[in-house]
Copies of this chain bind each other. A is one copy, B any other.
Amino acid sequence: MKFSIKKQLLLEALIKVSKAISTKNLIPVLAGIKFELKKKKLTLTASDNDITIQTIIDADNSDDFKIESEGSIIIQGKYILDIVRKLPEEYINLEVIDELKILIYTENSEFNLNGISDSEYPNIGLEESKKKIDISAGTLKSIVFQTAFASSNEETKPVLTGINFNIVGDILECNSTDSYRLARKVVKLNKESEENYNIVIPSHNLLEFTKILDDDTDNVELHVFSNKILFKTGNLKFESRLINGTYPNTSNLLPDEALLVISTNLNNFYSVIDRVSILTSDKEKNIVTLETNGNTLVLRSSSAEIGRVEEKMVINKNNDEDIKISFSAKYMMEALKSFSTDSVDLHFVGEIKPILIKSTEDETLTQLVLPIRTY
């Protein structure tokens, strides 16, 4: 294997695949990136057994990527990334000598790295399905941004550490819950899916994938298998394992009829809760109490040791009912942050019933926060 390549081209590819390299991995070969140069394509692959990332650089006959000979080898991921990032020249030469030595050089710099034979790399298929589902990159990013935060971090309930993707026909319903709150996003696909799916994708992996998506990506293909999912876009493939287990049915949590709906400016409401939560503590779930009194909303919190706070704001209501309810300020604020609308509506069913947060400006998103009994 011998080639010269534009630094920026190689660097961008390395940054992407490096996200799959775990420093904690016990299998030494997985600390490496597989370089495979074949048929004028350089394929870089990295995997930590949980996710696999692959990206392809095409030789397009320009000076940016000139191939002298083909081949393949595993190069230690941490070092190759650092080297390419820090070399000042515009072009970089890479060459495998003596079978397992990698020479990376420019005019004044010469790095000689120990490589590993590509035969030691696990066989990673990254195969595609014939029944792919297309989704716009923007929609996928929204789904992840608006739901992943509500997933659980506790590995004791593995299925809740993921986002549930439920595909029926041309409807994709995504749910994420840690059993204290729920985020639901429902989007319409451009095309009916040939098959129905009900899968759980690790939230952390979805976040990693949306982070490495280029801003100009239009479309993402989803290839679903029984125990894994492949995301494909342009020259990038990202594969994640799926979480085994049945995702809880969350539909019964969403009430049809509300006792009271209040409408409020999103930013003002967020700031009020932010201030009222100053005197609360994470340990106690940052409990605040909301009370309506005509068109005035009063938010309170108190702590015997620290003191108490009361904030007022004017709201709109859909009827004359009043409500008094307590909830976690942290969860409410995270739910509010997922909206990019000017206003939100809070739907109340009762003091001990879930609070629904919706917006007439974006019907695709529903957030739900469970109340907390304070007496």
Chain B neighbourhood of A305, CB < 8 A: 114
Q: Report the separation of the CA atoms of residues A312 and B108 in the bound assembly, to the nearest whole angstrom.
A: 5
Per CB-CB distance, the 5 closest pairs between chain A and chain B, nearest first, are A113-B307, A82-B278, A111-B309, A108-B312, A110-B310
Identical copies of this chain, number: 2
- A275 adjacent to B307 (CB under 8 Å): no
B-contact 0/1 string along A156-174, CB 8 Å cutoff: 0000000000000000000
- B113 adjacent to A306 (CB under 8 Å): yes
List 28 A-B pairs, Cβ < 8 Å: A79-B279, A79-B306, A79-B307, A82-B278, A83-B275, A83-B278, A86-B271, A86-B275, A87-B275, A101-B307, A102-B307, A108-B311, A108-B313, A109-B309, A109-B311, A110-B309, A110-B310, A111-B278, A111-B279, A111-B307, A111-B309, A112-B307, A112-B308, A112-B309, A113-B307, A114-B305, A114-B306, A114-B307
Interface set, chain A 112-134, CB cutoff 8 A to B: 112-114
Query: A88's contact among B79, B83, B86, B271, by CB below 8 Å, is which?
Result: B271
Q: Report the separation of the CA atoms of residues A24 and B278 in the bound assembly, to the nearest whole angstrom.
A: 19
| A113-B307, A271-B88, A307-B113 given; A79·B278 CB < 8 A | yes
Number of interface residues of A (CB under 8 A): 30
Determine whether A90 belongs to the interface, using a CB cutoff of 8 Å to chain B: no
Q: Report the separation of the CA atoms of residues A308 and B279 in the bound assembly, to the nearest whole angstrom.
A: 56
Determine whether A292 belongs to the interface, using a CB cutoff of 8 Å to chain B: no
| A113-B306, A307-B114 given; A278·B108 CB < 8 A | no
Determine whether A146 belongs to the interface, using a CB cutoff of 8 Å to chain B: no
In the assembled complex, how far is the CB of residue A295 from the closest CB belonging to chain B, in whole angstroms?
A: 14
Chain B neighbourhood of A307, CB < 8 A: 79, 101-102, 111-114
